[in-house]
Amino acid sequence: MKVLITGGAGYIGAITNDYLKKQDYETVVFDSLKNGHREAIAGTKLVVGDLTIKSDIDEVFKADTFDAVIHFAALALAPESMEKPFEYYQNNVLGSLNLLESMRNAGCKNLVFSSTCAVYGYPKKLPVTEDEKIAPESVYGSSKRIVEEIIEWYGQVYGLKYMNLRYFNAAGAALDGTLGENHAVETHIIPILLDVISGTRKVFELYGKDYPTPDGTCIRDYIHVVDLARAHVAALKGQSGSVNLGVGKGYSNLEVISVVEKVTGKKVPVEVKSRRPGDPASIYADNTKAKKLLGWEPKHSDLETIVESAWKYHEKRILDENRD
C-alpha cells in the first residue's frame, strides 16, 4: 500500500512515517518544512510544498498514485490560534479542502485525518466519549471541526472512506530515542520539564495548584506517540467514523513531575503560578470506540514508558547539538 503523509516531517508525522515503513508500507511525505524537519524523514521521498497552494498538492497526485492519505499538516497551537484566526482557518481549512479536491480528482478515496479532542471544548462528562457535545473553545479546535465536517460531506457525496482521529495529549518519542519532539516553540509539559532537567530552562512554571483534583493540579490523558502511529495504521482499513485516541485515564501535573524526576534522577525546580485562562481541571478519553472500530489498544502509554522514551530522545538531541 502506498500512503501520502501530509505534515509527515513533524513530530507525530515523522514517527508515523517511520512506523509505516517498518510495516512495509511505501510512503511519500508532503511538508512545507516550516515546522517540520527534513532529517526526521531521511530515506523517504519528500515533496516540499504548501497545501494552501492547490497546484502544489495537485502535482503530487500527478506524479504518484496513492492508496490512502494520512493528513497531519496543520497549525496546532490553541493559544496562538486566538491571536491568528485568519492564518489558522486559511492553513487548516483551505489546505485540507485543497487536499480533498486533489484526492477526489485523482480517485484516492481513503483518508485518515489528524483531529483533536479540542473539538469538545470543555467537556461536561468524564471520560469523554464521541457522543460529547462538539463545542470548540479555540480557533484551532474550530478549524479542526470544520475540516471534520467537510470530510464527512465528502464521504457522503463522493464515497470517501475516512477516519477522524481525535487525539488527546500526544507524548513520548520513538522507543529507540531516534525521533521525538523538537518544536521551535515548545508548549508540551514533558519536553519542557526535560529542558529544565537539562538546564536549558531555569524553572518549571506550574499553572494552578488549586484545581478541584486530588492534588490541585490539572489532569490530562497522555498517549504515547507510537500508540498514535499504530492507530493510524489500523485506521487505513477503509472504514469511516470519528474516534478518540487516549489512554482512558489521566495524570496530574504533579504526577508527571514526579515520574520525570524518577526517570532522570534529578529534581525539578517548580514555581507555582496562577491558573491560565481556559485550562479545564481534568480531561481524559473514553477509548472504547477506537478499540472496537480499529481493533487497537495502547501498548506503550504508561507514564514511565512515555517519559523514558522522551528522555532518551532529549539526551540524544542535546548530544547531537553539542557535537555540531
Residue among 190, 221, 183 nearest 80 (CA): 183
Q: What is the pLDDT of residue 185?
A: 84
| Close Cβ partners of 125 (under 8 Å, ≥ 6 residues apart) | 132
Give yes or no for residue 319 having a pLDDT over 80: no
Give yes or no for residue 299 having a pLDDT over 80: yes
For the segment 142-185, what is each residue's pLDDT rounded down to a tens digit?
A: 999 999 999 999 999 999 999 999 999 999 999 999 999 988 88
In 8-73, alpha helices (H): 11-22, 54-63
Distance of CA 207 to the CA centre of its chain: 22
Q: What is the pLDDT of residue 318?
A: 79
- The amino acid at residue 251 is Y
Domain 189-220+249-323 falls under CATH 3.90.25.10: yes
User: Do the Cβ atoms of 77 and 188 come closer than 8 Å?
Assistant: no
User: Do the Cβ atoms of 198 and 275 come closer than 8 Å?
Assistant: no
- Mean of pLDDT values over 69-92: 96
**Mean pLDDT for the chain overall:** 96
Q: How many CA atoms lie within 13 A of 295 on its CB side?
A: 6
140 is catalytic: yes
- Of 319 and 42, the structure prediction assigns the larger pLDDT to 42
- Of 317 and 189, the structure prediction assigns the larger pLDDT to 189
Q: How many residues does the chain have?
A: 324
Q: What is the pLDDT of residue 320?
A: 76
Q: How far apart are CA 241 and CA 85, in angstroms?
A: 27
Give yes or no for residue 124 having a pLDDT over 70: yes
How many CB atoms neighbour CB 145 within 10 A?
A: 21
Domain 2-171+222-245 falls under CATH 1.10.10.10: no
Give yes or no for residue 190 having a pLDDT over 80: yes
In the chain, alpha helices (H): 11-22, 54-63, 78-81, 85-88, 95-106, 139-158, 189-198, 225-234, 253-264, 288-294, 303-323
Give yes or no for residue 28 having a pLDDT over 80: yes
Q: How far apart are CA 88 and CA 214, in angstroms?
A: 36
Q: What is the pLDDT of residue 152?
A: 98
CA distances from 87 to 10, 76, 136 (A): 19, 11, 17
- Mean of pLDDT values over 103-107: 98
73 is written with which cell numbers? 499538516
H/E stretch holding 271? strand 270-273
Planar angle of CA 186, 280, 277, nearest 5 degrees: 70
- Mean of pLDDT values over 85-97: 98
- Catalytic site residue from 89, 140, 162, 211: 140
3-state secondary structure of 47: strand
**Residue in the structure block whose three cell numbers are 481541571:** 281
Give yes or no for residue 323 having a pLDDT over 70: no
Q: What is the pTM of this model?
A: 0.96
Residue 321 banded pLDDT, cuts 50, 70, 90: confident
Residue among 65, 63, 67, 29 nearest 48 (CA): 29
Q: What is the pLDDT of residue 324?
A: 61
For the segment 237-292, what is each residue's pLDDT rounded down to a tens digit?
A: 989 999 999 999 999 999 999 999 999 999 999 999 999 887 889 999 999 999 99
The DSSP 8-state label assigned to residue 216 in this structure reads S
